[in-house]
């Protein structure tokens, strides 16, 4: 089959610990996104973000890309890549500069951002994203666009996301060997937020928890700005391993049982029934019933969610935020494949004591039903990031540097 190329094509590549996903979208003239290609395959050759078999990983990437290209009937040459591993860090920094002219210019913004990012970061790390939170001019704070304002001094608060440069380099090299250029690297938690969170949720204060296989990402938004990110190296696969150990099952049978019969907290209507639980081949599992299965699953999910709550409390304590400031987080949003277990909302509400919801990608209109699921939050977010990036790049070509920060809404300004 002959594969064509087309200008307005965006491709996302997610290399997770359990699956590799490729999603291809076309930006239509009206500005909307049309999904035209998709593939999903089991991940091989990588574990918790580290490559342990380069040849296997390259084969997996090649297979996934070719499958998606075949469906899309287009040849792709570049991708937006999501990245997530234990060595993702974040920090909030401040930049301050005097206002040289009567009014703030783009040059002033460039200067204050440069000062804010000129800080010490962890060894062997480089900056993945610089995300402005707000500007302050003299005593006026909470400013999103300071251009044209007058004052003596300007301050900016930025959120820096950094990652291990060697891990990043190894994954990029693997993709290059497939003949694909990595156009931009995006932290997975940031991509998920683009696809499932609304501006209203970000403004009201929200903690987004993306529950994957081997890792969870928690991203905290306060007053519309990204304030904190954490990567927790435990997630749904921990639950599967607990089930396999408790009932002497293979990992694949344990995963099947978790998805089909598992509850994150007890449901009396089911646990009171002595119903058989069968493996994927239809064989009854001895000594395994709904109640005993829930007794294995619930403690682990509770522990996973408490790890996030502990990080939230630590964050607020570290920054000496008053207790009533905790109400800044008025919502907890769960997404990711491991959020699909039954009764997770009931379990989470007991831990966070606030409004909790499970969400799937919602920020692309006419999204196909087969990817309109929590486990595709990151890959859909990659296409949205790519669309925003292309839009800001076009404006950049027509105007001086840094104008994109103001014209394309500062919250989308995610630059190395």
- Angle between the N-to-C axes of helices 344-352 and 290-318, in degrees from 0 to 180, rounded to the nearest 10: 40
The helix (H) or strand (E) run that includes residue 130 is: strand 125-137
pLDDT at 328: 65
**Are residues 170 and 53 located together in one domain of the fold?**
yes
Beta bridge partners of 37: 24
25, part of any domain = yes
**Are residues 100 and 31 located together in one domain of the fold?**
no
Q: What is the rounded CA–CA span in Å between residue 231 and residue 219?
A: 9
CATH number of the domain where residue 150 is located: 3.30.1490
Measured over all CA atoms, what is the biggest interatomic distance in the chain, rounded to whole angstroms?
79
45, part of any domain = yes
**Are residues 61 and 142 located together in one domain of the fold?**
no
Q: What is the rounded CA–CA span in Å between residue 247 and residue 264?
A: 17
Q: With contact defined as beta carbons under 8 Å apart, do 335 and 211 qualify?
A: yes
Q: Which residues have C-beta within 8 Å of that of residue 266, sequence separation ≥ 6?
A: 291, 294, 298
- 283 alpha-carbon distance from chain centroid: 38
76 CB-contact burial (10 Å; exposed 0-12 / middle 13-18 / buried 19+): buried
Q: What is the rounded CA–CA span in Å between residue 202 and residue 179?
A: 38
Q: With contact defined as beta carbons under 8 Å apart, do 15 and 81 qualify?
A: yes
Closest CA to 26 of 71, 82, 83, 81: 71
Q: With contact defined as beta carbons under 8 Å apart, do 116 and 95 qualify?
A: yes
CATH number of the domain where residue 30 is located: 3.30.420.40
- Of 146, 162, 178, at which residue does a domain stop? 162
**Are residues 69 and 128 located together in one domain of the fold?**
no
**Are residues 279 and 331 located together in one domain of the fold?**
yes
**Are residues 75 and 154 located together in one domain of the fold?**
no
pLDDT at 409: 45
Q: With contact defined as beta carbons under 8 Å apart, do 95 and 130 qualify?
A: no
Alpha carbon distances (Å) from 321 to 35, 95, 208, 324? 43, 21, 20, 8
316, part of any domain = yes
**Are residues 57 and 180 located together in one domain of the fold?**
yes
Alpha carbon distances (Å) from 88 to 40, 118, 179? 25, 18, 27
Quote the pTM value: 0.86
**Are residues 244 and 320 located together in one domain of the fold?**
yes
Chain position carrying tokens 């630059």: 415
Pairing of the two strands 206-211 and 331-335: parallel
Q: Where are the beta strands (DSSP E) in 99-241?
A: 125-137, 140-143, 153-164, 181-187, 206-211, 216-222, 225-232
Mean pLDDT by 10 residues, the chain (416 residues): 68 90 90 90 82 90 95 94 86 89 86 89 88 88 87 90 89 93 92 93 92 90 87 92 93 93 81 72 84 92 94 74 55 94 93 92 85 94 90 61 49 46
Q: With contact defined as beta carbons under 8 Å apart, do 8 and 26 qualify?
A: yes
221, part of any domain = no
Q: How many distinct structural domains can be found in the chain? A: 3
pLDDT at 323: 46
**Are residues 378 and 279 located together in one domain of the fold?**
no
Beta bridge partners of 163: 88, 126
What is the span of the domain harbouring residue 236? 232-358
414, part of any domain = no
Q: Where are the beta strands (DSSP E) in 331-414?
A: 331-335, 355-358
User: Could you give phi then psi for residue 302, rounded to 5 degrees?
Assistant: -60, -45
**Are residues 309 and 247 located together in one domain of the fold?**
yes
- 180 alpha-carbon distance from chain centroid: 22
210, part of any domain = no
Number of residues in the chain = 416
Closest CA to 232 of 2, 12, 17: 17
Q: Where are the beta strands (DSSP E) in 16-84?
A: 19-27, 33-42, 46-47, 50-51, 78-83
223, part of any domain = no
Mapped onto helix, strand or coil, the DSSP state of residue 132 is strand
Q: What is the rounded CA–CA span in Å between residue 116 and residue 131?
A: 11
**Are residues 158 and 172 located together in one domain of the fold?**
no
202, part of any domain = no
Q: With contact defined as beta carbons under 8 Å apart, do 171 and 15 qualify?
A: yes
**Are residues 256 and 374 located together in one domain of the fold?**
no
Alpha carbon distances (Å) from 412 to 122, 132, 139, 384, 395? 25, 9, 25, 10, 13
Residue 119 per-residue DSSP state: S
């Amino acid at each position: 089959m002959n594969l064509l190329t087309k200008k307005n094509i965006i491709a996302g590549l997610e290399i997770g610990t359990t699956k590799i996903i490729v999603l291809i979208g076309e930006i239509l003239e009206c500005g909307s996104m049309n999904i035209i290609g998709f593939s999903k395959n089991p991940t091989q050759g990588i574990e918790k973000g580290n490559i342990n078999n380069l040849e296997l990983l390259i084969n997996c990437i090649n297979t996934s890309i070719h499958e998606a290209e075949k469906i899309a009937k287009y040849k792709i040459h570049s991708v937006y890549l999501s990245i997530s591993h234990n060595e993702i860090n974040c920090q909030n920094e401040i930049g301050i500069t005097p206002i040289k002219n009567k009014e703030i210019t783009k040059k002033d913004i460039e200067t204050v951002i440069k000062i804010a990012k000129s800080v010490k970061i962890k060894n062997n790390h480089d900056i993945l994203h610089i995300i402005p939170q707000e500007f302050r001019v003299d005593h006026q704070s909470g400013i999103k666009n300071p251009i044209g304002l007058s004052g003596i001094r300007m301050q900016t608060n930025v959120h820096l996301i950094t990652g291990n440069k060697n891990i990043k380099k190894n994954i990029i090299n693997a993709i290059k060997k497939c003949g694909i250029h990595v156009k931009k690297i995006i932290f997975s938690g940031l991509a998920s937020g683009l696809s499932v969170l609304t501006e209203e949720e970000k403004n009201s204060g929200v903690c987004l928890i993306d529950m994957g296989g081997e890792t969870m990402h928690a991203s905290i938004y306060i007053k519309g700005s990204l304030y904190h990110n954490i990567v927790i190296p435990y997630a749904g696969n921990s639950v599967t391993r607990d089930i396999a150990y408790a009932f002497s099952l293979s990992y694949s049978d344990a995963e099947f049982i978790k998805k089909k019969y598992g509850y994150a907290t007890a449901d009396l209507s089911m646990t009171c029934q002595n119903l058989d639980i069968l493996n994927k081949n239809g064989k009854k599992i001895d000594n395994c019933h709904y109640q005993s299965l829930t007794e294995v699953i619930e403690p682990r999910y509770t522990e996973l969610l408490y790890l996030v709550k502990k990080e939230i409390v630590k964050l607020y304590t570290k920054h000496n935020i008053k207790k009533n400031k905790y109400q800044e987080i008025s919502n907890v949003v769960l997404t990711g494949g491991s959020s699909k277990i039954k009764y997770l909302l009931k379990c989470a509400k007991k831990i966070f004591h606030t409004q909790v919801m499970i969400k799937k990608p919602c920020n692309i209109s006419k999204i196909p039903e087969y990817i309109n699921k929590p486990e595709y939050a990151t890959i859909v977010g990659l296409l949205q990031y790519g669309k925003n990036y292309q839009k800001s790049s076009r404006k950049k070509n027509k105007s001086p540097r840094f104008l994109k920060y103001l014209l394309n809404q500062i919250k989308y300004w995610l630059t190395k």
